[in-house]
Amino acid sequence: LDIRRSEIFGILGPNGAGKTTTVECIGGLLTPDEGTISVLGLDARRDHDRLRDRVGIQLQSSELPDKLGVGGALELFAAFYDDPADPAELMALLGLTDKRDILFGKLSGGQKQRLSIALALIGRPQVAILDELTTGLDPQARRETWKLIESVRDSGVTVLLVTHFMEEAERLCDRVALLHHGRIGAIDTPAGLASGAQA
């Protein structure tokens, strides 16, 4: 598996295919059973601390305390980094400025996803891992989130996107890996995969 700089690379597959496990290993959150993982020239096992400052991760199961506000969450996460992004700039970029004082428990699904993206970007990462970011969103919120993901890539960040929506992969991804039972079945552009499936 080879992911290029400044691309949106999708990992697609059914539930249980190993998508989340794969990205957690790439992000240094899990130790793989075998093999090697190099991210930005760093070993995902050995260089975990250095990798943490260069990779932002939004996991599917990410939750925050209901009584933590949007601004407070960004300031808290910013404190973990030596040179974090400006929380106010991220809130403006992601349309959260007017939600600064709203508690996490009061946010809509789409607003929570925008906050998740902001938290993944607060450390100024070179790689952003976004795990099933649009699951459970209505079509309008999903389209808005797609635009945000494209703007993240356009800022020079490599995006690793886990999804099980082919429409999402076709809209966003430069290339896609199909996972099945923990193995890569194919890697191609979304159009290449679609044409292969029709053949």
State residue 198's pLDDT score.
53
Q: What is the pLDDT of residues 84-123, one digit of tens each?
A: 999 998 898 888 999 999 999 999 888 888 898 889 889 9
What's the whole-model pTM score? Answer: 0.86
Q: What is the pLDDT of residues 167-195, one digit of tens each?
A: 889 999 999 999 988 889 899 998 888 77
Q: What is the DSSP string of 126-179?
A: SEEEEESTTTT--HHHHHHHHHHHHHHHHTT-EEEEEES-HHHHHHH-SEEEEE
Structure tokens belonging to residue 23: 């990205």
Residue 138, CA distances (Å) to 15, 24, 105, 109, 111 in order: 20, 26, 18, 9, 12
Q: What is the pLDDT of residues 50-70, one digit of tens each?
A: 888 899 888 766 678 888 999
Residue that has been written with the tokens 């789409």 in this structure:
110
* SS3 readout for 31-98: CCCCCCCEECCEECCCCHHHHHCCEEEECCCCCCCCCCEHHHHHHHHHCCCCCCCCHHHHHHHCCCHH
